Amino acid sequence: MSGLLKSSIARKVAMALSGLFLIIFLIQHFTINFTSVISADLFNEFSHFMGTNFVVQALLQPVLIFGVIFHFVMGFMLEIKNRQARGVKYVQFNGSANSSWASRNMIISGAVVLAFLALHFYDFWVPEMLYKYVEANPEDPSRYYAELVHKFESPVRTGIYALAFVLLAFHLWHGFSSAFQTMGVNNKYTPFIKKFGYTYAVVIPAGFIFIALFHYFNH
């Protein structure tokens, strides 16, 4: 098994597994965010739990950060290798004749999501880490809702947020079923996996955009 990550297929499988892990994480993130639409207290309660639970903070959080970094670094490495594999570029390349925009531009949708994540970390994660671990403020279980709502006051931020999720939708549109194909699953369940993937790719990002717009217009 050593050197497994040296082969093209192993790298692809690593991309698929980290992608599926992030897809699962997205459901959890979405569920908690969605509670902010239902009730401020509920959202505070969940956020307080996630922000202070030892397992979440010390175990799941590092795994998640590793997963994100791994998926991006590997994605960029593969993109570079793939570009080199063409050698001389075509004068005319009619990609849209045989494949979808989403499938050919995972690097673009991925890079936009990465840029968004940088902003997202700056907005939420970095202040959260400073608040909790550097300044060592006492925990106030009711602060989370206000922090969230505050971020969606600006139309620019809300706009960027929505745009990033549109690109995430494209990324998931191809990525979801692609991950299964890479792991060797292509059988009678494939049409179902594809449909489920397309639904997921639309519903989850649309849900995140809905939450952002909800708070923006709620001011």
Partner 1 sequence: MNLKLKIWRQKDANTKGKMVDYQISDVSPDMSFLEMLDVLNEELIEKGEDPVEFDHDCREGICGSCSLQINGEPHGPDRGITTCQLHMRMFKDGDTITIEPFRAKAFPVIRDLIVDRSSFDRIQQAGGYISVNTSGNTIDANAIPVNKHDADKAFDAATCIGCGACVAACKNASAMLFTSAKVSQFALLPQGRVEATQRVLNMVKQMDLEGFGNCTNTGACEIECPKGISLENIARMNSEYLSASLEG
Give the interface with partner 1 as residue ranges (CB under 8 A).
1, 4, 7-13, 78, 81-82, 84-95, 97-100, 103-104, 106, 174, 178, 181-187
Q: Which residues of 64-100 are buried (b: 16+ CB within 10 A; e: fewer)?
A: beebbebbbebbeebeeeeeeeeeeeeeeeeeeeeee
Shortest CB 1 distance to partner 1, Å? 6
Q: For residues 61 and 181, which CB has a smaller minimum distance to partner 1 in the complex?
A: 181
- Determine what percent of the chain falls in helix, strand and coil, rounding each to the nearest 5: 80, 0, 20
Shortest distance, CB of residue 21 to partner 1, whole angstroms? 17
Which of 53, 187, 72, 170 is CA-nearest to residue 121? 72
Of the two residues 44 and 178, which places its CB atom closer to partner 1 in the complex? 178
CB of 85 to partner 1, least distance (A): 3
| Least distance between partner 1 and beta carbon 100 (Å) | 7
Complex with partner 1: residue 104 or 143, whichever CB lies closer = 104
C-alpha to C-alpha distance for 18 and 70, rounded to whole angstroms: 7
Choose between 174 and 215: whose C-beta lies nearer to partner 1: 174
Q: What are 100's two structure tokens?
A: 């979808």
